[in-house]
Amino acid sequence: MEIHVVQPGETLYAIAGRYGADPGLLGAANGVPADGALAVGQTLVIQTVRTFHTVHPGDTLTGVARRYGLSLRELYRNNFWLGGGPAIQAGQTLVIEYAGEKLGSTYTNGYAYPFISRPLLSATLPYMSWLTPFTYGIDAQGSLLPLDDGALLAEARRLGTAPLMHLSTLTENDTFSSQRAAEVLTDASRRAALAGQIQETIREKGYQGLDVDFEYIPGALREAYAAFIRQLRGLLAPMGLPVIVALAPKTYAAQPGLLYEAHDYALLGAAADFVLLMTYGWQISAHTCIFRL
């Protein structure tokens, strides 16, 4: 892979010829408009295509993927300009394989509301390890609040992304409740009932793991929270599914505050399979996966 910085007077076709690249693929891979317009100083990623396929009448993406021994997910990854959609046209060029060695592998996860833009969802899913629909909350009786996640799960299955169930303390009023977290964590019967509902939901909907995100809970409940995570892990481990717990970004163990005190890194790290360290910035949030060894 090379990076080319556009100079005055350069055209897409000239740049493609310089690197021995297909101009159509080069433009598509870099989001160049159909008229080929470039801006001086614009950067173009140059990737060498090892194998490509020219679409013939009657071709489908599924058929092309099968012909070359690829998954549909891999074909979408090699041709991100398809946006995860099924439409292709005769004469169109598809990348089957790029030259060069892969640097390694990573895991990516993203949260999505049920009302997310479908084109955005479809375009992004091929690059994600997990999709986490947001969120299953807890009602006043300690039971799961429903989530309209059917469309998200169907698209995740189509594009080969594993769905994670997300459990939080969100209420029917779209607010996070410290009280409901405390009621569940201090009542064995409520914990057992909620855990059973979670297990049944995972089985019914095909979730591939659980992400637990209890925020703003009193520090006195740190041990109870870790015990609940262990309880959930005990239920899901026989199913071969992980339990992930989201942690607030503490800078030292005794950091005060409702967001931090019940997030005991040592206890929760031992109780869960993995943790997500949540980091926040102005108007954005990002989550980094930390794997427990």
Cβ-contact 147, 135 below 8 angstroms: yes
- Distance between CA 138 and CA 168 in Å, rounded? 7
Residue found under tokens 């599914």: 241
Ranges of H-type helices in the chain: 12-19, 23-29, 61-67, 72-78, 118-124, 150-158, 178-185, 188-205, 222-236, 265-271
The helix-helix angle for 178-185 and 188-205 (nearest 10°) equals 100
Residues 6+ apart with CB under 8 A from 25: 49, 52, 93, 95
At residue 153, the 3 state secondary structure works out as: helix
From 101, 204, 215, 223, active-site residue = 215
- Distance between CA 283 and CA 176 in Å, rounded? 19
Q: How far is CA 247 from the centre of its chain?
A: 17
Told to judge if 204 belongs to the known catalytic residues of this protein, a careful annotator would answer: no
Residues 6+ apart with CB under 8 A from 293: none
Report the catalytic residues.
215
